[in-house]
Amino acid sequence: MIGVGVIGYGYWGPNLVRNFSETNGTAVMGVCDLNPRRLALVENRYPAVQITSDYQALLANPKIDAIAISTPVSSHFNLAMRALQAGKHILVEKPLASTSAQVLTLIEEAERRKLVLMVDHTFVYTGAVRKIAETIRSGALGELLYYDSMRINLGLFQHDVDVMWDLAVHDLAIMQHILPDWPTAITATGMTHVAGGVKNVAYITAFYPNNLIAHINVNWLSPVKVRRTLIAGTRQMIVYDDVEASEKVKIYDRGITVANSPEDEYKILVSYRTGDMHSPKLDSTEALSVEAHHFVECIEQGKRPITDGYAALQVVRALEAATLSMKERGRLVELPAESLEASMA
């Protein structure tokens, strides 16, 4: 039985506690939060669980083997490092840390101590994204052309991160998981519409090898909630709408065929292909449940997590590049080549 401690019982913490409580082979042994009212909620629902306002009490508990961290991003590095130094496996809410240097330090510490380091890129574990990844890897889409995503809604304004680090991180994690390459360069623009606040609307463009391009639109000031992604290939195209109650993924046999005219080698002929659409059956298991099982499996079997430290490193480096580009009004920022190498280490 793997004992789990959860630090942070705000927005995401209750989901972590619930899923680890329901995961075979695990038991939630303790929950830490600075708010007494949040701890009272834990005590009412899980009376056998230790509650504390001091996270070090969880780190000192010998019955706790793993720590799940769901706190403001600015605290991730310190809490994760302390947990690793205490010999605990860790699962950290996205993004893993505030800088790529911090991520590298955590990777080195976890590898030195032979502990599992995993980032909570939840969308990677959804049935929809897993099906999209399977479809792309099968070659059914052909050569990939573009990834175009809109992730907008009204709320929740964050205090320590802007809209890119809050929402675009999801798309970057999905892209890291399903696309065969990683961007070579990024541009980003955005704006702050609340005095003294952080960027609340942003547009990111990522340039890949082989003419693949990705575009992400994130916004906290939209009157409607939209979670729609288009992924186009030369053979098929995917529409992924996470707001849909059913048929979240639709695969279209549509596209174009380009050929040169035999009469005029400089004339390009474009013909349109319109075929069937089908919506594949998806695994409806809650993503966080799949993720919790995977985390436990990695601890028990010494496996490398799907969303490990190197996956987190690529995402944070992309966010850093986007932040720098945005500060300079969309300047093209090259991504370090070593991020590609690190993902295959």
- pLDDT-based confidence at residue 266 (cuts at 50, 70, 90): low
180 and 196 both lie in a single domain: yes
pLDDT of residue 264: 61
203 and 327 both lie in a single domain: yes
135 and 278 both lie in a single domain: yes
Q: Which helix (H) or strand (E) holds 101?
A: helix 100-113
Total domains, the chain: 2
Q: How far is residue 88's CA from residue 60's CA, in Å, rounded to a whole number?
A: 10
265 and 336 both lie in a single domain: yes
pLDDT in tens, 16-26: 999 999 999 99
pLDDT of residue 267: 62
pLDDT of residue 342: 46
Q: How far is residue 36's CA from residue 26's CA, in Å, rounded to a whole number?
A: 25
| Phi then psi dihedrals of residue 63, to 5 deg | -80, -10
Which CATH number covers residue 87? Answer: 3.40.50.720
Q: How many CB atoms lie within 10 A of CB 116?
A: 24
230 and 180 both lie in a single domain: yes
The residue segments making up the domain with residue 222 are 124-285+315-342
pLDDT of residue 344: 42
Which CATH number covers residue 179? Answer: 3.30.360.10
Show Cβ contacts of residue 50 under 8 Å, excluding neighbours closer than 6 positions.
29, 30, 31, 57, 58, 61
Q: How far is residue 334's CA from residue 321's CA, in Å, rounded to a whole number?
A: 7
Alpha-carbon 131 to chain mean position: 16
- List 112's β-bridge partners, or say none: none
Residues 175, 149 contacting (CB under 8 angstroms): no
331 and 218 both lie in a single domain: yes
